[in-house]
Structures are given as C-alpha cells and as structure tokens.
Amino acid sequence: MPDSNPPKKLSIVVASGAFEKVHYALVMATGAAAIGTPVTLFFTMGACPAIMEDDGWRTLPSEKADTSATARDDDFAARGVATMNELIDSAAELGITFMVCEMGLRAEGLEDQPLRKGVDITRTGVVTFINDASADGSIIYV
C-alpha cells in the first residue's frame, strides 16, 4: 500500500441539491475527519435544505428516477449504508465545521427558516469559508 499523504484540511462546498451528492459529501467529510483531517462543510444553493430543521434533507430530489430522498435513504439503511441523519450526526460528533451560505439561503428563499438542531451551523458567507480553508488543504465542489 502506498504512503498516504492526505490534505492538511478538507473544505467541501456542497452546492448540489441532489440527495446522493449531499450524502456523499458527508461520507467524504466523515471519512476525512475519522483519520484526523480537519473538515469544513459549506452548504449553499440547492444543498441548503439538507441542514434545515425537521430533516429538511428529505425534500431533496434523488438522482434515481421515481425515488424520493426518504425512499433512497431507507434503501441505503436496508443495505447497511449510513443514513443521512447518521452522517450528519456523526459529522457533528467528529467536530466537522458546518457553515451555510447566507446568499445561498436567500437565493433559495430559506433565510428565515430554522437550521437543524443539535448541529453547530454558522450562517456566513463565501469569504469566511475561503478564509477558513488551508493553503495545504483541498477544496472540493459537490
């Protein structure tokens, strides 16, 4: 096995509102955090509902035809794949930084909607996200 040289920090822009893309952004984030890499998730545009109160992620469309986010999540659970709630909760427990873009919330008409309880989510802007990134890290756009 080759020597591993992960980035010093992983910063993920989660812009897609597709359930599967948001889910996998959380998979990447929790995987990186599990090996000690600091992670920041920056939710914007169509991905904003994923971190809204009352399982807002359930409103996300699935990339799988004729399937809802809830049905896809139930299918993942039946197959032993982490669910969206498990991933969000694990990310919070692993100390992943959650940010949500104020502009993205406004663009989606969600600026007055409450964010998920139990997760420390900072409402902020892209400048803060960029300042939070590391020169020795990686920025991924999902």
Angstrom distance (rounded) from CA 111 to CA 22: 20
Per-residue tokens: 90:
């694990």
Nearest alpha carbon to residue 115 among 42, 56, 41, 30:
56
Q: Which domains does the chain have, with CATH numbers?
A: 10-141 (3.40.1260.10)
DSSP 92: H
Q: Can you give the pLDDT at residue 4? A: 77
Where the chain has pLDDT below 70, the residues are: 1-3
Q: Can you give the pLDDT at residue 125? A: 97
Q: Can you give the pLDDT at residue 1? A: 53
What is the DSSP pairing of strand 10-14 with strand 97-101? unpaired
C-beta neighbour count of 47 within 10 angstroms: 26
Q: Can you give the pLDDT at residue 80? A: 97
Q: Can you give the pLDDT at residue 106? A: 97
Whether the Cβ atoms of residue 115 and residue 104 lie closer than 8 Å to each other: no
* Strand (E) or helix (H) holding 43: strand 39-43
Angstrom distance (rounded) from CA 92 to CA 51: 12
Angstrom distance (rounded) from CA 7 to CA 9: 5
User: Residues with Cβ < 8 Å from 111, sequence gap 6 or more?
Assistant: 102, 105
Q: Can you give the pLDDT at residue 12? A: 98
